[in-house]
Amino acid sequence: ESVLTQSPGTLSLSPGERATLSCRASQSISNNYLAWYQQKPGQAPRLLIFGAASRATGIPDRFSGSGSGTDFTLTISRLEPEDFAVYYCQHYGSSRGPIFGGGTKVEIK
């Protein structure tokens, strides 16, 4: 079964800085079936990116996704105050069901 490892566990940055989050899969992900979610305290996750690089409806263009195979990246070009949250990657489209990474917390430095 594929495992998703996210790094770093915590990213301490200031508003306006660039955030780069990594998601590594133990097995190659076919068709780039990789999504990214944002979760704020006390809230449900929100879909940001699907297909590794496609933004979901209403997601600002400061969020971008890239990668293929086993290595994927979520980039937030300039952090806004509302972007400080936990981010999860997810492999979908597997017959075994969706798999989530452990999350990266982006906190205010």
The contact set with another protein (CB under 8 A) reads: 31, 33, 35, 43-47, 50, 56, 88, 90, 92-93, 97-103
Give the residue with the Cβ less far from another protein, 17 or 47. Answer: 47
Closest distance of CB 15 from another protein, Å: 25
Distance of closest approach, residue 32 Cβ to another protein, in angstroms: 10
Task: Give me the least distance between CB of 103 and another protein, in Å please.
Answer: 6
Of 14 and 43, the one with the shorter C-beta distance to another protein is 43
Residue (17 or 46) nearer to another protein, CB: 46
First to last CA, the chain: 36
Which of 3/108 has CB closer to another protein?
3
Least Å from the CB of residue 55 to another protein: 12
- Helix (H) / strand (E) element for 87: namely strand 86-91
The span from the CA of 93 to the CA of 72, in Å, is: 16
Q: How many CA atoms lie within 13 A of 27 on its CB side?
A: 9
